[in-house]
Amino acid sequence: MFNRNKFMAQIIMSGKSMSDIANMLAINKVTLYRKINGKSEFNRSEICKLCECLNIKDVKDIFFDKQLT
């Protein structure tokens, strides 16, 4: 399950804005917020881009957090 809090913390630590992230993923900011809020899911290529852009070391910590299930 997606861990919104860890994801948002990673964005803050990266110094990037939501607009930066949306542009990097080539999606609208509204679409990004829907994904962050669980209305839709990040696809595999988006997860790969986010891990690279936000320096996410362990994809499971954010995108597949078992503690939230």
Mean pLDDT of 2-17: 96
pLDDT at 69: 54
Q: Encode the chain in three state secondary structure.
A: CCCHHHHHHHHHHHCCCHHHHHHHHCCCHHHHHHHHCCCCCCCHHHHHHHHHHCCCCCHHHHHCCHHHC
Dihedral angle at the C-alpha atoms of 7, 1, 38, 58, nearest 10 degrees? 30
Domains of the chain listed by start with CATH number:
4-63 (1.10.260.40)
Segment 12-69, tens digit of pLDDT: 999 999 999 999 999 999 999 999 999 999 999 999 999 999 999 999 999 998 876 5
Which pTM was predicted?
A: 0.89
Q: CA–CA separation, 36 vs 21, rounded Å?
A: 12
